[in-house]
Amino acid sequence: MKKQFSIRDFSLLLSLLAIWTFFALAAPQYLSARNISMLSVELAITATLALGMLLVILPGHIDLSVGSGVGLVGGIASVLVFNHGWPAGAAFGIAIAVAVLAWTLMGALIVRERIPSFIITLGGLLIFKGAFWLVIGSRTVPVAPGGQTNLYSLLTTYYFPPAVSWTLGLGVFAVWIIMTLRGRARRKALGFTVDDKELTFLKLFLTGQALTLTILLLNQFRGIPLPLVILAAVALAIHILTRHTPFGRQLYAIGGNEEAAFISGVPVQRIVIGAFMVLGGIVAITGLMQTAYAGASTTTIGDQMELDAIAACVIGGTSLRGGRGSVIGVIFGALIMASLLNGMTLLAVSPELKLIVRGAVLTLAVWMDVKLTKR
């Protein structure tokens, strides 16, 4: 499809380096193995949610309720586990089912009753937040009873040991190489334009370098954290869904021109409801990870996460008008957001200033999007 690398991606890389350099100078422990490990967990949480958000932004919608949803899902699971002594797996099942159901309902209201997604999900934001506080009784509910570990707490505290980490990393890299080379050969056979050999090699080489460096650093701490593997799985699934299935193709078509997509036989309503349904599942996964990361469900879990997800999408080149965006871009966007937030926490920036920076970054990203879409 479209060219995957452009000046924009390059500028993303530069901004990322600038952010890292700034924080590394301001707080040397920013690049410590321990902090990189934490950053990778935070990245996994932000990026997973943003990938779900991508699915509804592609057809030209938006979801403001995911942050509250994250809190609610985590809250339901925590209450079932801590107050009612459920096994974590069963609690996960209920929490995921609730989220999928709620998001399917919102999707149906949006496309069948033609209520703008902005309004429906703004309503969802408040309703889920209220429901969340009701569920946890506005108290703090730990994810595991009395300092024990369970599946829930392990979500963000399990690390793959170094040997497994290397195997995982090598495996992923090998698949990456094979996919790149096969894709390139296929495009070449079909007469499409491809990157020349040197550039392909350079990209693979740099990817390999980055991967090696990351694993080295993560292994210095405890190994690859589980959330990072969850992110990889979600990212692969969303990539295949958007690029290799009719569902994804039709998401892009709806975002590009809904009327033309409809006339072309795209079942617009079903596809958009489907996108919200998958987003519901992803909100659940994110909610469980985020709550586990905090160690307990508290009233502020999930606050402003919808904004981080939207910002990650837009920074990564997703158009808010729909029809444009990619998995790799969104992950990059999430990396920028996570790096900023992590750095600010490390510098003990006041919550007031943090909010202002978040808002400024979101505004800046959307402004860039508008600038680049216009022409």
Partner 1 sequence: MSAILQASAITKRFPGVVALDRVSFDLVPGEIHALCGENGAGKSTLIKLLSGLHPAGSFEGELFLDQKPTSFHRVTDAQHSGIAVIHQELALVGELTVAENLFLGNERRRRGFLDWEKTWTDARELLAKVGLAISPDTLVRDLGIGQQQLVEIAKAIARDMRILILDEPTAALSEHEVQTLLNLLRELRAQGIACIYISHKLEEVFALADRITVLRDGATIATINTAETDKTNVIRHMVGREISQLFPRHISHPGAETLRVSNLVVAPSADEKPFLNDISLHVRAGEVLGIGGLMGAGRTELMMHLFGAWGHRLQGEIFMGDQPLQNRSPQAALDAGLALVSEDRKRYGLILDESIGFNFSLSSIRNLLRGLLIDQEAEAHANQKYFDDLQVKAPSLETTVNTLSGGNQQKVVIGKALMTEPKVILLDEPTRGIDVGAKLEVYELINQLTTDDRAVILVSSELPELIGMSDRIVMLHEGCISGEFSREEATPEKLLAAAMGQTLSPVTS
State which residue, 139 or 186, has the beta carbon closest to partner 1.
186
Q: Closest by alpha carbon to 129, among 315, 303, 371?
A: 303
Binding site for partner 1 (CB under 8 A): 1-2, 186, 190-193, 240, 244-246, 249-250, 252-253, 256-257, 259-267, 323-324
- Distance between CA atoms of 118 and 129, rounded to whole angstroms? 16
- Distance between CA atoms of 138 and 132, rounded to whole angstroms? 8
CB of 106 closer than 8 Å to CB of 124: yes
Cβ at position 244, least distance to partner 1 in Å: 5
State which residue, 207 or 257, has the beta carbon closest to partner 1.
257
State which residue, 224 or 253, has the beta carbon closest to partner 1.
253
Helix and strand element counts for the chain (H, E): 15, 4
Cβ at position 363, least distance to partner 1 in Å: 24
State which residue, 255 or 302, has the beta carbon closest to partner 1.
255
Cβ at position 60, least distance to partner 1 in Å: 12
Instruction: Please state the φ and ψ torsions of residue 133, each to the nearest 5 degrees.
Output: -65, -35
Instruction: Please state the φ and ψ torsions of residue 191, each to the nearest 5 degrees.
Output: 80, 20
Cβ at position 140, least distance to partner 1 in Å: 43
State which residue, 145 or 246, has the beta carbon closest to partner 1.
246
At 324 the three-state DSSP class reads: coil
Cβ at position 67, least distance to partner 1 in Å: 30
Cβ at position 17, least distance to partner 1 in Å: 30
State which residue, 228 or 234, has the beta carbon closest to partner 1.
234
State which residue, 57 or 283, has the beta carbon closest to partner 1.
57
Strands 224-225 and 296-297: unpaired
State which residue, 4 or 167, has the beta carbon closest to partner 1.
4
Q: At what angle do helices 305-315 and 33-57 cross, to 10 degrees?
A: 80
Partners of residue 142 on adjacent β-strands: 296
Per-residue exposure over 223-262, b if at least 16 CB sit within 10 Å of its own CB, e if not: bbbbbbbbbbebbeebbebbeeeeebbbbbbbbbebeebe
Cβ at position 237, least distance to partner 1 in Å: 12
- Distance between CA atoms of 340 and 16, rounded to whole angstroms? 9
Contacts of 173 (CB under 8 A, 6+ apart): 207, 208, 211
Cβ at position 271, least distance to partner 1 in Å: 11
Maximal CA-CA distance, the chain: 62
State which residue, 193 or 300, has the beta carbon closest to partner 1.
193
- Distance between CA atoms of 296 and 288, rounded to whole angstroms? 10
State which residue, 26 or 185, has the beta carbon closest to partner 1.
185
DSSP category for residue 135? H
Cβ at position 260, least distance to partner 1 in Å: 5
Strands 159-160 and 224-225: antiparallel
- Distance between CA atoms of 88 and 69, rounded to whole angstroms? 19
Cβ at position 172, least distance to partner 1 in Å: 20
Instruction: Please state the φ and ψ torsions of residue 212, each to the nearest 5 degrees.
Output: -60, -45
DSSP category for residue 296? E
